[in-house]
Structure 1
């Protein structure tokens, strides 16, 4: 054991939290901070998710204790010995140490046995990695490290806490995918070998669990490519064939001196992560998935001459297939597929010095600022480029016009009521006429000019 630095969250200073700790201690219990919060505390980071394991008290005793303090006591995780409470508007998960035995397929195929008499070493055996098997005694500030997780943390090594319990949940492989670029530097050799042996267990995972790990990789990692390379090294990339097909897919070295499409994609996704905070929050995940999948159409369109004309369009159905396997969020799927299909357009319009009308039509399909960030990350995804320092004309044009166009599609200046005001009677032709008016508007005609043409046409 060793002493930890002060916990970094104001919640620990709340009077209600201190009362809770005192009550647990007076009832011969011990509250241990567990999970990623311990690592964040050691690294001097603010603790964001608070999970506390209480030793020496039964589940019933802990419930009665919390209720006796007039605190919120949500028993939503009762079967796993978990209680959710709230202090100063912050949700805290509290639990009793437990054993888990796998008896079936999937994350629900476990029997759970609560045991208040367990030690941290016994309870930690079921945790995925040694760095997550460390504990912080909230009463004394002592760190409990039964599996040498602190040494692994210092060296940046992700190591399975216990081989036999690790293989019981294949999601742990994907957890390594997203944790490696965030918490470590390398995966222990023996743990990597275990992951390789678990490749065929992928089918046990539900789509929503897979999605959560991808979301963490894309939104939290500074270099998501490290997670992608782990998938490749562990053999798990086979379960994402759209990405696996990028490996070894050649590119013209004149335009892509960095190597194959896989290397390029890894560079692009890291660029996108550097720009991520500049993208509107409600578009970030879309943007990151778009960067990940932007070139998945290249393997099917690359010719012996190393051209890949049409790879943008070819990537649309592949992006849809990839996304549908991990989520049923229709809006996200549609947005990501749209970015994949349009990721070349900004550059094409800029290089051809296209008229503003063409940019308006592009903006109507996808916000220009999003396509600007995508184009910038893509352009810098090659040897000798710097996404933070290099200027990119196509992206700058996107940002410039986005300020003018706004967030939504270009609004129509001619509506059905305008046609009626001109004396036209509502009919099936209204739609055709309005569409024609909109085309003229996008081409630069003013509302007055369009109405005048309509009036003259109606008089003929």
Structure 2
């Protein structure tokens, strides 16, 4: 597919204008120039609404219906409501948008609030910023603001002078936006798209360009935003913007690293090729300055037989891209998707501290458990929640287990149900299913390999069968998506005549261990029958375990 055709997102089904193919060809045609803006033709309100009615959720449809109602309401008051930011960029790219931000010209904030309250619930979320939160009856949120000018007045990210001004021009209001494609604005009623900084051409040629080079460094978080946009939209930084980003990196020291989380999440979860964003962060100097755990992967060598792609950094870039494919293949969403992507990023963080050249080969013995500390350290600074860090750490520590079990199976060695129960308990709150997805990404993120019989031929890794095999076995045991239930519960011990107490947990834990070793529930209960108290019951199981 040519660059031009891939750019013409309006030719995709998700934004096709029903029964009007001639109108399709006119979209994104330049209409005129006015007040320093190039004006392009986009979907008018009616055609955009028909498009999302066909392909998007009822909540999004309701949200856009209220965008149109608000725009009509503002127009009746001789103001103008424009869509700004991501929804306009996404429309130009032919992508669906999940939210709509409205900027209102010609109406003071107090009057705007009164007008909106006639349509739904309104909250002031940023009085000084001129931002209102409008909630539709169905619960869809719209950010509605008036134009403003931001001026940096100190070193902190909070040190800004905010000047809301509904009389600003579209061009001046757009100047504070980070990149040219985010400086687009659109009249939702007429479909006219206003471009003051060449954003549409930059999207067409997949170029990342700062909107205003003087204002860019006012918010150093834009460095991370640049990386996630590069990853999501397949962009390349134009030279001046690249140097501008590099010069802004030291200013990130003043930011709380908690603010980094959203941008990292978008980079890993929304991009088809997250590796492009990671490569950009390295090119910007962010990896070197803030993430020693990732920097250490560079030049950490791997054995060519298993990793012909190169060092651990190169392997990690390939693994996160493969993880993105695994997520799409298995339709992972929400927490399951997050676990996979962050585990893929961190899975080999233990290699720098364990890799040695022994007997003529590179070896990274016990790198899985060695990855726990750097994984915790890195994820805590990427804004990952504490409970999710526990899940991801467990996946990192056990990421070789599925492959090891499958190789044992191929060799004819026994792989017991107890082995599955033990790994399921070690993983919790992660699951065996989660673990197999990480393994698939790891196995697929390698190569190409030399053909053993034809040195001039290269081989890509075969689709790994271990993941499906392990999932099938775990599913048969009922523990693919949860840890095993205890073989005994407190009520079982009470029925045996034992008095409840702290020792119950030790009995239940030991009973689980015996079951893992092949003893049935009935056999365990038989051995406990006749116990006079919990201490004797524990001694009986302890004797059985040691015999």
Common topology (TM > 0.5) = yes
Please give the alpha-carbon distance, in whole angstroms, between the structure 2 residues aligned to 1:70 and 1:5: 24
Structure 1: tracts of 5 or more residues without a match: none
**Range moving further from structure 2, 392-401 or 192-201:** 392-401
Task: Say yes or no: does 1:31 pair with 2:100.
Answer: no
SS in 2 for 1:198: helix
Aligned to 1:304: 357
Per-residue Cα deviation, 1:22-50 (whole angstroms, up to 9, x for no partner): 22112221111111100111222223210
SS in 2 for 1:73: strand
SS in 2 for 1:262: helix
Aligned to 1:450: 524
Per-residue Cα deviation, 1:153-180 (whole angstroms, up to 9, x for no partner): 1000010011111111110010011111
Task: Say yes or no: does 1:149 pair with 2:199.
Answer: yes
Per-residue Cα deviation, 1:184-204 (whole angstroms, up to 9, x for no partner): 421111111111112211222
Q: Which residues in structure 2 correspond to 1:118-157 (within 5 Å)?
A: 118-157=168-207
Give the 3 Å change call, closer, same or farther, for CA 35–280 of structure 1 in structure 2. closer
**Range moving further from structure 2, 269-278 or 39-48:** 39-48
Aligned to 1:173: 223
Per-residue Cα deviation, 1:309-345 (whole angstroms, up to 9, x for no partner): 0111111011011112233622111111111111112
Aligned to 2:320: 269
Structure 1 residue corresponding to 2:422, chosen from 340, 361, 367 = 361
Per-residue Cα deviation, 1:209-250 (whole angstroms, up to 9, x for no partner): 200111111111111000000001111112111111111111
Structure 2: tracts of 5 or more residues without a match: 1-38, 54-60, 410-414, 450-457, 541-547
Give the 3 Å change call, closer, same or farther, for CA 92–16 of structure 1 in structure 2. closer
Cα shift at 1:94: 1.0
Q: Which residues in structure 2 correspond to 1:9-408 (within 5 Å)?
A: 9=52, 11=61, 16-67=66-117, 69-87=118-136, 88-238=138-288, 239-277=290-328, 278=330, 279=332, 281-305=334-358, 306-327=362-383, 329-353=385-409, 354-366=415-427, 367-384=431-448, 390-404=462-476, 405-406=478-479, 407-408=481-482
Cα shift at 1:120: 1.4
8 Å contact from structure 1 (residues 77, 83) kept in 2: yes
Please give the alpha-carbon distance, in whole angstroms, between the structure 1 residues aligned to 2:307 and 2:186: 49
Count of residues in correspondence between the two structures:
458
Cα shift at 1:15: 6.1
Per-residue Cα deviation, 1:79-104 (whole angstroms, up to 9, x for no partner): 21111113353211111110001112
SS in 1 for 2:363: coil
What is the RMSD of the two structures over their aligned residues, measured on CA atoms?
2.4
Cα shift at 1:423: 4.5
Normalized against structure 1, the TM-score is what?
A: 0.93
